[in-house]
Amino acid sequence: MKKIDKYKLASLPLTLFFALGIVGSVAAVDVNKLVKDECADCHENDGNSTDGETPSIAGMSVDYFVESMGAYKTDARPALKLKDKKTDMKEVVNKLSDEEIQALAAYFAKQQFKPLKQKFDPGLAKVGKKLHRKYCDKCHSEGGTSAEDDAGILAGQPISYLQYSMDNYASGKREMGKKMAKKFKKMQKKAGDEGIVQLIHYYASQQ
């Protein structure tokens, strides 16, 4: 067996040891119990919501999941409060450790996203498709279906949730990155509030 050089071991970056520690901690998290206790009531066990109001988080990228949880903690993103639910995302996130958030991110990233079956207006969706291509496609590629952009899956999300999110962006209650803010303002100036509705119906049409 090859002898390990203790001096070489000592010269390894500290970040490697921290990373190994995080991996070990994440592995120790009982993610199935965590999902059942903290997530399933709104997002189901597989991350695909069925209530028509809360977003599906199945297939969400790890980076975007972690970023979203951080936004709830800092109030950069408001938490939707539903009448039939005992808690909201901010309350849930504030109970979670960084290791638990990482474990949940990895869990939901492995789940398959299922677009919600819902009614939409074909006419509005047709115009919305053009708006998406012009203003949104660079960050939300493949019609908003891709998770690889680390920007969240938009296609197939509930109309109610999409409207809630857009309203928060428009009012400034939810923070936007510089690129998104620039595109969002351009679209609003060109298409007005109707453009937002058209965009929402385009995402809802992808089933």
Judge contact between 156 and 143, C-beta under 8 A. no
Question: Above pLDDT 90, what percent of the chain?
Answer: 81
| pLDDT of amino acid 82 | 79
Residues 6 or more apart from 62 whose CB is under 8 A from it? 102, 105, 106, 109
> Above 80 in pLDDT, residue 109?
yes
> One fold for both 6-109 and 122-205?
yes
**What is the average pLDDT across 176-197?**
94
The CATH classification of domain 122-205, taken from the options 1.10.760.10, 3.50.50.60, 1.20.810.10, 3.90.870.10: 1.10.760.10
Q: Which CATH class is domain 6-109?
A: mainly alpha
**Segment 9-34, tens digit of pLDDT:** 444 454 444 444 545 455 588 999 99
| pLDDT of amino acid 25 | 52
Model pTM score:
0.83
Hey, where are the domains in the chain?
A: 6-109, 122-205
Label residue 41 by pLDDT band (50, 70, 90): very high
Label residue 169 by pLDDT band (50, 70, 90): very high
